[in-house]
Chains A and B, each alone.
Chain A
Amino acid sequence: EDQVTQSPEALRLQEGESSSLNCSYTVSGLRGLFWYRQDPGKGPEFLFTLYSAGEEKEKERLKATLTKKESFLHITAPKPEDSATYLCAVITGGFKTIFGAGTRLFVKA
């Protein structure tokens, strides 16, 4: 069964304390893995797409990596404005999207 699992469910960091969020997946025929950021009251906002193992993408303090079984979202020196829920999603070979439950990130000044 296709499945996406994110961990941890919630993460509390001090400003400047780097960490990583995990997204592990088991799907048939991965077409792409997406990372989104969601703020309260808003729709998910696209961050990255990864397509193949070994791929990495960066944007400001965020860096996403992909292996055959999981993806990591690394946050370097986070700031309070990075506080949000981070969602991972995959598109399967049949163009079905599956979202993880998300990781709620809190960054304290």
Chain B
Amino acid sequence: DAGVIQSPRHEVTEMGQEVTLRCKPISGHNSLFWYRQTMMRGLELLIYFNNNVPIDDSGMPEDRFSAKMPNASFSTLKIQPSEPRDSAVYFCATYSLAGIGNTIYFGEGSWLTVV
């Protein structure tokens, strides 16, 4: 398996622009998490989905942030409009709810810079 695949790996955008981050989970994993990581705040859980349904979005900072999971193999995190304080690394991670001995696997992250 190719692991969790995120795109883009790096994005630089101007304040006010829309940013869309994408994630392809590991096949068979039915729980998906979006995290944001900054030096100041560490890893923060933004939202997670179980079986494509959003379970907890209490970590989403503002209405400018939205996330969707239209099917089991794709999720997006959108920021509109973007602001400089949104600059961070955004990680997607996935997990299998079935059985025991499961692990959360992370993608390589999307490095966002808003100028």
A and B part of one assembly: yes
Number of interface residues of A (CB under 8 A): 22
Q: Are A95 and B31 in contact (CB under 8 A)?
A: yes
CA distance A101 to B91 in the complex (A): 15
Bitwise, B32-70 to A at CB < 8 A (1) or not (0) is 010100000011010010100001100000000000000
The answer on a CB contact under 8 Å between B55 and A101 is: no
What's the count of A-B pairs with C-beta under 8 Å? 54
Could you tell me the distance between the alpha carbons of A96 and B42 in the complex, rounded to whole angstroms?
17
Chain B nearest CB, measured from A108 CB (Å): 22
Cross-chain contact of B104 among A46, A94, A100 (Cβ < 8 A): A46
Contact of A95 among B43, B48, B91 (CB under 8 A): B48
Kindly state whether residue B103 has any CB partner on chain A within 8 Å.
yes
Q: Most chain-A Cβ atoms within 10 A of its Cβ — which of B42, B50, B102, B108? A: B42
B103 adjacent to A46 (CB under 8 Å): yes
Q: Interface residues of A: mostly helix, strand, loop or mixed?
A: strand
How near does chain A come to B59, taking the closest CB pair, in angstroms?
Answer: 9
| Contacts A98-B45, A99-B42, A101-B42; A49 near B107 (Cβ below 8 A) | no
Quick one: CB contact mask for B96-107 with A, threshold 8 Å, 1 for yes? 010011111111
B64-85 interface (Cβ within 8 A of A): none
A97 at the interface (CB under 8 A from B): yes
Question: Which residues does A use to contact B, with CB under 8 Å?
Answer: 32, 34, 36, 42-46, 49, 51, 87, 89, 91, 94-102
Q: List 22 A-B contacts (CB under 8 A).
A: A36-B106, A43-B108, A44-B91, A46-B104, A49-B101, A51-B100, A87-B43, A89-B104, A91-B95, A91-B104, A94-B55, A95-B31, A95-B48, A95-B55, A95-B97, A96-B45, A96-B56, A97-B48, A98-B45, A99-B43, A101-B42, A102-B43
